[in-house]
């Protein structure tokens, strides 16, 4: 059985009420539960960590090196400037997928840069809730390809 770490960065705890015109009306818990359901359909278990603090996310990534086969991260605003998160992701040897509910490239210029994109297997952005489901399937297929 595979283990996936789902990481949620700053302000994602406010999903459902924060700028619903951009992020939709689903809560973070709803996103996590549907991600878990897809992962369970291919035999994976999901651990979820949400924090508004960069160090907590870095610590979770360090711990995941021993416990997880893959991770999916929505780093929120940390995407654009967190070099410590980027380095922690780089150290993780498993499958890594970056996901964003909105499309950062279609938003403010400071959101056009991802400090973490270079150290993940792929990025999924702009598909709303579907992005989490696509990330789960990407993890499944990438883990399968690595085991062949």
The encoded tokens of residue 54 equal 């960069």
Q: How far apart are the C-alpha atoms of 130 and 9, rounded to whole Å?
A: 18
Q: Which of 31, 48, 100, 132 is catalytic?
A: 100
Q: Which of 23, 31, 48, 132 is catalytic?
A: 23
The sign of the CA dihedral 23, 24, 28, 32 is negative
Question: Known catalytic residue: 129?
Answer: no
Question: Known catalytic residue: 100?
Answer: yes
Q: How far apart are the C-alpha atoms of 144 and 142, rounded to whole Å?
A: 5
Q: What is the dihedral of CA 30, 6, 80, 146, to 10 degrees?
A: -130
Q: How far apart are the C-alpha atoms of 145 and 40, rounded to whole Å?
A: 18
Give the residue numbers annotated as catalytic, written as ranges.
23, 100
């Amino acid at each position: 059985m595979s283990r996936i770490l789902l990481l949620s960065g700053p302000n994602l705890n406010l999903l459902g009420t924060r700028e619903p015109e951009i992020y939709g009306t689903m809560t973070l818990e709803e996103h996590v539960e549907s991600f878990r359901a897809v992962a369970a359909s291919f035999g994976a278990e999901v651990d979820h960590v949400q924090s508004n603090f960069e160090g907590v996310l870095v610590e979770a990534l360090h711990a995941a090196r021993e416990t997880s086969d893959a991770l999916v991260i929505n780093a929120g605003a940390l995407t654009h400037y967190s070099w410590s998160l980027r380095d922690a992701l780089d150290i993780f040897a498993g499958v890594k997928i970056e996901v964003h509910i909105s499309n950062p490239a279609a938003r403010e210029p400071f959101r056009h840069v991802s400090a973490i994109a270079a150290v993940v297997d792929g990025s999924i952005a702009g598909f709303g809730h579907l992005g989490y489901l696509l990330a789960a399937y990407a993890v499944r297929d990438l883990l399968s390809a690595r085991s062949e």
